[in-house]
Every structure is written in structure tokens, then in C-alpha cells.
Amino acid sequence: MKLHHVGVAVKSLAEGVAHYKRMGMRLAHQEDVPAQGVKVAFMGEGPYVELLEPLCPESLVSKFIDKRGPGQHHLAFAVPSIAEELKRQKEAGARLIDQAARRGAWGHLVAFLHPSGQGGVLIELVEESHG
């Protein structure tokens, strides 16, 4: 398991991208992820900074910003198999948000672990698609 990205909730993706470009990072990828109610931009060379802007007021990222303000949202770790990692986490007593993988940005399979069992940090598991 290795760090894939740090998720950062922002009110404006354009402003966030401009900020990280001023810091010397390049825009690696940008897309809308309607199933998660966000548009995202990955900054850097990897591990990435993933900027998340809500697409609608009902999105979980919008609710996060309303409650806590913009800032760090989650940590994401690359794993060889989401299914195997979810099984391992469940057997270890972790509280799962997702019982199975779903499609995320870049077409990767993703799943989330609840912060209550992760030291207060929302954890995303990422199975990178190859091919």
C-alpha cells in the first residue's frame, strides 16, 4: 500500500488549480465525477494533490465544506486489489463506507473507509486501472 493522493476540498477548482500551479505543480488530470458529485483536478507527479469542487449543494464534499470549510478531505492509498483490501479491512474490524468498489476519477476503482476507525481520517482505497 502506498500513498496515491491527498484529497483537498475547494470551493473553486479554477482557483485551486491556479494556486498549486503557482507553487510549481502541474495539472496532471481533470474531470467531472458526477457519481460522486464533484469535479476534480490532480496536481503534481504523484503522489498527487486531488482538488475536489462540489458539483451540487447535495454532494458530500459540499456538505464537508459547509461544516468544516475548505481543506484536507481524505488520504488515498493505492492497493493492488480493492476487493482483497476491503475483505482484509473488514476482517480487521474497520468500518467500511463502501462494501464493494465503485468507479472513481481516471476510471480507477475506489472504495472508502469510515474515519471513525481510521484515526479520524477518511481513507480512500484506489485500484489503478492499467490498459
**Under 8 Å between Cβ of 85 and 99:** no
Residue 18 clears pLDDT 70, i.e. is over it: yes
Residue 54 clears pLDDT 90, i.e. is over it: yes
Average pLDDT over residues 94-99: 95
At residue 131 the predicted structure's pLDDT band, cuts being 50, 70 and 90, is very low
Residue 129 clears pLDDT 80, i.e. is over it: no
Residues 6+ apart with CB under 8 A from 86: 96, 98, 99, 100, 101, 111, 125
Q: Measure the CA–CA gap between 25 and 64, rounded to whole angstroms.
A: 25
What kind of architecture, by CATH, is found in domain 2-127?
Roll (3.10)
Q: What is the pLDDT, as a whole number, of residue 128?
A: 84
Q: Measure the CA–CA gap between 11 and 29, rounded to whole angstroms.
A: 18
